């Protein structure tokens, strides 16, 4: 039984890949999914009687209501394993276990530790304390990147409960006709992501306001998360807008490289999507990103010193970008396919049973 909070974006991509694989696995008899009715995708490839949504908004009152609904559904289904996705869902499932007998195994994935986000030291310490406390009622904790695994070990999480299983995506490409054209005489770079603080688009926009060049053209794909938090895009950046995930491979194909200026990143899904499409990555020095670019498949710049980004962009050439893109593709095939991820997850299930 998979349980999440806001199952959308990267978490939804992950859960859908896992459900798709497990539905075909002879080792798994039944799969159930429970997610919040708010801010969750609804198109999961499962029979309707195996998918349920609980009423929820992020508030103290809703937390206890969510716990009751989830506990009821768990007792109805009686799963052998509960696979929990994301921080708040981790609280909903595991906190009640301190007050009743645990009849099932619990696998937990934070999809990016909350204590590694851009927060005050006080809040980071609170999140770390809560996660370590809840780990008592957890059989295995999946870390989605080497950086996440290392940080958990450094903070004293029990090593026997930690399992590094890199995020994986399908190696199959869906090529459709993109509604965009680029000038092939230029080095065309792409940003893909939410227009929010974590993804660092504001940093990129401010940089390009002063970075004057006729050789490099930046395009951006994405949208504002909040309607009252609009991002103003200057004229020298081309805003493609929101693109359906099914069409993204077609857009990656057009560009010479992908730039990822995130302030924090538990894994870096866009980086892996770029590698899948044989595109080099230009990433910030935060979270899991430097490790993803460390196989001669990209470049790393400092968010605290954007002159490092200026130097990288000034020295780009298409031939080198193409070589790094091929290196990235090989790195992807060896480490980040959904089949590799899912085989490791099922092996972990069998291990704890």
Task: Give residue-wise pLDDT tens across range 133-160.
Answer: 999 999 999 999 999 999 999 999 999 9
Convert the pLDDT of each residue in 216-264 to its tens digit: 999 999 887 555 556 778 788 999 988 888 889 999 999 999 999 999 9
Lowest mean pLDDT among 86-100, 150-164, 168-182, 224-238: 224-238
Convert the pLDDT of each residue in 22-68 to its tens digit: 999 999 999 999 999 988 889 898 999 999 999 988 888 889 999 99
**57: number of CA atoms within 13 Å, CB side?**
2
Distance CA 6, CA 62 (A): 13
* Rounded average pLDDT over 4-30: 93
Q: Which of 189, 195, 242 is nearest to 218 (CA)?
A: 189
Residue linked to tokens 């965009």: 180
* Rounded average pLDDT over 343-353: 97
Domains of the chain: 2-169+337-352 (3.40.50.2000), 187-335 (3.40.50.2000)
* Rounded average pLDDT over 108-120: 94
* E strand or H helix that includes residue 281: strand 281-284
Q: How many CB atoms lie within 10 A of CB 256?
A: 21
For residues 19 and 46, the answer to whether their CB atoms sit within 8 Å is yes
Confidence at residue 61, expressed as pLDDT on a 0 to 100 scale: 83
* Rounded average pLDDT over 323-348: 97
Confidence at residue 177, expressed as pLDDT on a 0 to 100 scale: 77
Confidence at residue 227, expressed as pLDDT on a 0 to 100 scale: 52
């Amino acid at each position: 039984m998979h349980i999440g909070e806001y199952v959308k974006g990267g978490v939804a991509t992950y859960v859908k890949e896992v459900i798709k694989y497990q539905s075909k696995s002879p080792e798994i008899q039944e799969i159930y999914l429970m997610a919040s009715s708010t801010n969750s995708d609804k198109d999961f490839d499962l029979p309707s009687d195996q998918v349920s949504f609980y009423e929820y908004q992020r508030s103290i009152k809703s937390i206890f209501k969510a716990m009751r609904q989830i506990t009821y559904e768990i007792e109805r289904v009686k799963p052998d394993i509960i696979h929990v996705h994301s921080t708040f869902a981790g609280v909903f499932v595991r906190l009640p276990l301190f007050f009743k007998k645990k009849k099932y195994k619990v696998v937990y994935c934070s999809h990016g530790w909350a204590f590694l986000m851009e927060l005050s030291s006080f809040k980071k310490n609170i999140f770390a304390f809560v996660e370590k406390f809840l780990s008592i009622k957890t059989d295995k904790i999946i870390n989605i990147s080497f950086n996440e695994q290392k940080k958990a070990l450094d903070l004293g999480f029990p090593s026997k409960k930690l399992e590094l299983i890199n995020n994986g995506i399908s190696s199959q490409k869906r090529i459709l006709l993109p509604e965009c054209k680029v000038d092939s005489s230029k080095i065309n770079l792409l940003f893909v992501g939410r227009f929010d603080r974590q993804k660092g688009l504001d940093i990129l926009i401010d940089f390009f306001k002063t970075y004057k060049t006729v050789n490099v053209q930046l395009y951006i794909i994405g949208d504002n998360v909040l309607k009252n938090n609009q991002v103003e895009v200057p004229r020298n950046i081309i805003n493609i807008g929101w693109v359906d995930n099914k069409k993204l491979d077609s857009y990656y194909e057009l560009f010479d490289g992908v730039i990822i200026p995130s302030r924090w990143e538990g894994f870096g899904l866009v980086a892996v999507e770029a590698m899948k499409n044989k595109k080099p990555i230009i990433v910030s020095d935060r979270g899991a990103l430097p490790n993803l670019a460390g196989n001669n498949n990209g470049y790393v710049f400092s968010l605290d010193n954007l002159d490092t980004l200026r130097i990288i962009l000034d020295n780009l050439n298409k031939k080198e970008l193409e070589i790094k893109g091929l290196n990235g593709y090989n790195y992807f095939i060896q480490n980040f396919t959904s089949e590799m991820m899912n085989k490791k997850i099922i092996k972990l299930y069998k291990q704890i049973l």
